[in-house]
Structure 1
Amino acid sequence: MNDDNNSRRKFLKTLGGVGAGLTAVNAFANQPNTPSRLSGAQYMGDFVAPKLDTIKVAIIGCGARGGTHYNHVSAFEGTEFVGICDLYPDLTERAKKKVLANGNGERHKNVKLYSGDKHAYKKMLAETKPDLVYVVTPWEWHAPMAIDAMNAGAHVCVEVPLTTSIEECWQVIDTSEKTKKHCMMLENVNYGRDELMFLNMCRQNVFGELLHGEAAYIHELRGQMGHVQKGRGTGSWRTYHWAKENGNLYPTHGLGPVAQYMNIGRGDDNFRRIVSFSSPAKNHALYAKKNFKPDSKLNEIEYKGGDMNTSIIKTHMGRTIMVQWDESSPRPYTRHNLIQGTKGIGAGFPTRIALEGGVPGGAKNHHGWAQGDGLKEMYAKYDHPLYTRMADVAKKMGGHGGMDAIMNFRVIECLRKGQPLDQNVYEGCLWSAVTPLTRKSVAEDGMPQDFPDFTRGMWKSTKPLPIVS
């Protein structure tokens, strides 16, 4: 009798757990704040656009990052630059010289320049009618410009982050689905050699079942604060984000690769919720006091954003991801790039691998790291085929070790061949959503924040990113 009662209690407990799990799944897929898909809209997860033999390209923003993109894209076969736009005329002229040189004076000869007005890009879109627009501007312009470009009939590639708010995420998604135009965030780190190799290793189950990841953007950038006094340059606007916003303002470089390792938003798993805390805000004020005159604008700013933000994401399957951001502390650069599975671990900065049973040519067991020369056999066996195909191009064209060149080449290749882009609009919004969610969590002393399901439940049927050759 007692055994029967115990068995019954165990059964009911198990049944209750299953019911709770189903409730959580349904709640996640049908959140009350999820707007309905627009009438006639198309889900863009695996979207394939008609092939474009020649891609008419325009760019908005010709500064540091813009220079990388127009240099690469104008050199690729099958592109024709039709428009170049920047607030500053000298930057558009510099861009035109490079673009014409890459086209041997012929392929891009009809390119038009637009400048002098924050809204000059709208005239460019109307007059040049591009097929593809690159948006490389301050963060707050990313979503509005992407929306305008798609509504003008163009696919769009947007520098990170894709959006700065949850509301913008939905606006970008609705526009992409309505216009049936690609909107890809330019997460270049997904194309780094080690990130591509770890992705290949995850697909081949080398690390086993994936349990945990770590991602970061820790990059001391206080030197950009001087741009405020010049009135021009990245720091002239980025400094005010540091001052006003308290959360993770730049999550995607570290997070994008880890999300792809785990097939986040692509059939297997999705982000569920996040908690976030920030350290005190010290380093920006200290730097301003030390390096600028007392009456400088930089010493009048109140810096409210914590120097180090640390967040934990819990996924639908129960996996965890630690995400960190710090652009002000005196320390070496790192993105962490860590993926832990049941069979071993891969990590970055420096690149190292530990596997149960050891690493061929490296450590004998999982108690020691294989790194440096001890990874030669791993690179030989697991280098991503996209990297091996593109290694010479990456070396020649550069851009963060060649990852920029590979990324830009893939955008053009996919559009010309009629293939899905490597990153869809929902991934760009999901990774970017970390910023507004962490700001809210920090403001609420670490209270959990739920991720919206930007796919409206369609992530479960979206294909994983293939190992393209």
Structure 2
Amino acid sequence: MDRLNRRKFLQTASALAATGMVAACASSGSAKVSAKAPKGQQSVMGLVVPNMTTVRVGFIGVGQRGSGHVRHFCHLDGVEIKAICDTHREVVDKSLKTVADAGLPAPTAYSAHEYSYRDMLARDDIDLVIISTPWRWHTPMAVDAMNSGKHVFVEVPAATTVEEAWQLVDTAERTQKNCMMGENVCYGRDELMALNMVRHGLFGELLHGEAAYIHELRWQMKEIEHSTGSWRTGWHAKRNANLYPTHGLGPIAQYMNINRGDRFDYMNSMSSPALGRAAYAKREFPADHQRNQLNYIAGDINTSIIKTKLGRTIMVQHDTTTPRPYTRHNLIQGTNGVFAGFPNRIALEHGGMTDPESGKPNSYHGWDYDMEPWYKKFEHPLWARMGKEAERNGGHGGMDFLMFWRLVYCLRNGEPLDQDVYDAAAWSVVTPLSEASVNDRGNSKDFPDFTRGVWRTAKPLGVVS
């Protein structure tokens, strides 16, 4: 790209980003928004783009998370890795080696400065951009990528403020580009099976869900110069909120057809005292260490309750501090029974599996922990088709690889993606809304209708294969 064209792109990107920010601020002053998109925009619900014989990919951020994404794309058919960008040259070189070891052509590297990713976006031979950077960069980079004519896959959370969530929606609608947040848990075997169960009506009418990200991560505080803890730790000193809501919430939202027949209405949130991070820093670092200079304000445990337009409830929890086993909860309750994860278990009023000892159907008064019969009956077709390949390629038990396989499949076959920008906005906005509720004695905060009313008629996610 010659210097003049690159300058023109950067000027255009900056102008469009500024325009988007003004529009976002105007629309986010209230959670109530017009049912119509602003002039020049139209809904991207169910967006289908022309079939791509080959999906040409560029990566922004190839550290702990992004390097795995590069590895997965090396094993996908119909993909060309065109460019890799990161400010840390060492990780760029490692990913370049990953591509070379796979026997693929060498991508172009970008690592000269903080905004080198814009030089990459100025190329016209990239269809899809994979963003795996610190949270504060997610929305700006996704907006720049869509404005440059690329589809976007952005790591979780996609946005950190209400304004950023609207920026993503407005930009996707104006550019008619996909903006998918990488909620990989939606592609886990158990979550896919539960979705299949829900679609078959096994639990009756849905009433309640429980989602969580309970994952002790204090050890990340020892990552000072690079890696996730080097930037993620600071968020615990910035916001008292659910800092990371989407892993547990994404599957529950899909079970409940959020944005496609129902939507989040309002939320109440409360946090426990913030004690664990300071205690860990005091124990693990010298008194004058930077980790002991931070004022940790994020409650060790945040609990939020979401009410949907159809009256359903969802409990969402966040805890990356206390010493306890990992769980995402993944509980879905209906009028005919319940499924819950960690460990997987099920209880039904009617239709339970037969107890092998008594020969009688299992009662809802006790949990059925034997999942094998349920896998045989309700294994999701996508996992049945690609599960072994996903497990072989890895990434959180295969869910990462399956997510990317499905993304590329949809782009190559002219199908709408399983997650869209409205999901990215609604699932991510839990963080700023929870912060606002915590700061207001737990009083309810309204969710914006990012779909502008389209949720009422949008088609729910089916059991894809």
Please indicate, yes or no, whether the TM-score normalized by the shorter chain is above 0.5.
yes
Distance 2:101 2:34 in 1: 48
SS at structure 2 position matched to 1:127: coil
2:139 to 138, 143, 146: 143
> Are the equivalent residues in 1 in contact too, given 2:152–2:178 (CA < 8 A)?
yes
Distance 2:50 2:457 in 1: 22
Q: Are 1:222 and 2:218 matched, yes or no? A: yes
Q: Which residue of 2 aligns with 1:83?
A: 83
Aligned-pair CA distance for 1:97: 1.2
SS at structure 2 position matched to 1:243: coil
Q: Which residue of 1 aligns with 2:335?
A: 342
Distance 2:420 2:100 in 1: 31
RMSD: 1.3
1:256 to 250, 254, 259: 250
SS at structure 1 position matched to 2:237: helix
Q: Which residue of 1 aligns with 2:183?
A: 187
Aligned pairs for 1:156-305 (under 5 A) are 156-228=152-224, 231-266=225-260, 268-305=261-298
Q: Which amino acid aligns with 2:43?
A: Y
Superposed structure 1 runs of 4+ greater than 4 Å apart: 30-36
> Are the equivalent residues in 2 in contact too, given 1:311–1:322 (CA < 8 A)?
yes
Q: Which amino acid aligns with 1:78?
A: G
Distance 2:101 2:63 in 1: 18
SS at structure 2 position matched to 1:370: coil
1:332–1:34 distance in 2 versus 1, CA, 3 Å: farther
Q: Which residue of 1 aligns with 2:344?
A: 351
Distance 1:227 1:36 in 2: 46
SS at structure 1 position matched to 2:227: coil
Deviations along 1:203-237, one digit per CA (max 9) or x if unpaired, are: 00001000000000000000000113xx2111111
Aligned-pair CA distance for 1:135: 0.4
Q: Which residue of 2 aligns with 1:25?
A: none
Q: Are 1:333 and 2:326 matched, yes or no? A: yes
> Are the equivalent residues in 1 in contact too, given 2:35–2:453 (CA < 8 A)?
no
Deviations along 1:437-457, one digit per CA (max 9) or x if unpaired, are: 000000001010000000100
Distance 1:182 1:450 in 2: 26
SS at structure 1 position matched to 2:388: helix
Deviations along 1:368-402, one digit per CA (max 9) or x if unpaired, are: 1111xx22211100010000101111111010000
SS at structure 2 position matched to 1:130: coil
TM score, norm. by length of structure 1? 0.90
Q: Which amino acid aligns with 2:362?
A: K
Deviations along 1:37-61, one digit per CA (max 9) or x if unpaired, are: 2323221111101111011100000
Distance 1:355 1:33 in 2: 40
SS at structure 2 position matched to 1:198: helix
Aligned-pair CA distance for 1:75: 1.6
Aligned pairs for 1:446-465 (under 5 A) are 446-465=442-461
1:314–1:249 distance in 2 versus 1, CA, 3 Å: same
Q: Which residue of 1 aligns with 2:373?
A: 377
TM score, norm. by length of structure 2? 0.91
Q: Which residue of 1 aligns with 2:15?
A: none
SS at structure 2 position matched to 1:313: strand
Aligned-pair CA distance for 1:71: 0.8
Distance 1:209 1:319 in 2: 10
Distance 2:298 2:424 in 1: 24
SS at structure 1 position matched to 2:223: helix
Q: Which residue of 2 aligns with 1:417?
A: 413
> Are the equivalent residues in 2 in contact too, given 1:361–1:377 (CA < 8 A)?
no
> Are the equivalent residues in 2 in contact too, given 1:311–1:323 (CA < 8 A)?
yes
Q: Which amino acid aligns with 1:416?
A: R
SS at structure 2 position matched to 1:64: coil
Q: Which amino acid aligns with 1:310?
A: T
Q: Which amino acid aligns with 2:244?
A: Y
Distance 1:232 1:35 in 2: 44
Q: Are 1:391 and 2:387 matched, yes or no? A: yes
Deviations along 1:230-279, one digit per CA (max 9) or x if unpaired, are: x211111111101111010100000000000011110x211100000000
Distance 2:101 2:414 in 1: 28
1:328–1:31 distance in 2 versus 1, CA, 3 Å: closer
SS at structure 2 position matched to 1:463: coil
Deviations along 1:96-117, one digit per CA (max 9) or x if unpaired, are: 1112333x23xx33x1000141
> Are the equivalent residues in 2 in contact too, given 1:215–1:254 (CA < 8 A)?
yes
Aligned residues: 431
1:361–1:390 distance in 2 versus 1, CA, 3 Å: farther
> Are the equivalent residues in 2 in contact too, given 1:275–1:447 (CA < 8 A)?
yes
Deviations along 1:88-143, one digit per CA (max 9) or x if unpaired, are: 111111101112333x23xx33x100014111100011135410000000001000
Q: Which amino acid aligns with 1:258?
A: I
Deviations along 1:404-456, one digit per CA (max 9) or x if unpaired, are: 01001001000000100000110110000100000000000101000000010
Q: Which has the higher helix share?
A: 1
SS at structure 1 position matched to 2:280: helix
SS at structure 2 position matched to 1:312: strand
Q: Which amino acid aligns with 1:418?
A: G
* Alignment gaps of 5+ in structure 1: 1-29
> Are the equivalent residues in 1 in contact too, given 2:210–2:314 (CA < 8 A)?
yes
> Are the equivalent residues in 1 in contact too, given 2:71–2:99 (CA < 8 A)?
yes
Aligned-pair CA distance for 1:33: 4.6
Q: Which amino acid aligns with 1:451?
A: F
Q: Which amino acid aligns with 2:444?
A: P
Q: Which residue of 2 aligns with 1:73?
A: 73
SS at structure 1 position matched to 2:123: helix
> Are the equivalent residues in 2 in contact too, given 1:227–1:234 (CA < 8 A)?
yes
Distance 1:457 1:35 in 2: 5
Q: Which residue of 2 aligns with 1:97?
A: 97
Q: Which amino acid aligns with 1:140?
A: R
Q: Which residue of 2 aligns with 1:317?
A: 310
SS at structure 2 position matched to 1:70: helix
SS at structure 2 position matched to 1:346: strand
Distance 1:161 1:337 in 2: 19
Distance 2:43 2:124 in 1: 28
**Identity over the aligned pairs, expressed in percent?**
53
1:432 to 425, 428, 434: 428
Distance 1:181 1:166 in 2: 20
Q: Are 1:155 and 2:148 matched, yes or no? A: no
Q: Which residue of 2 aligns with 1:404?
A: 400
Deviates more, 1:118-127 or 1:138-147: 118-127
Distance 1:419 1:259 in 2: 21
Distance 1:388 1:31 in 2: 41
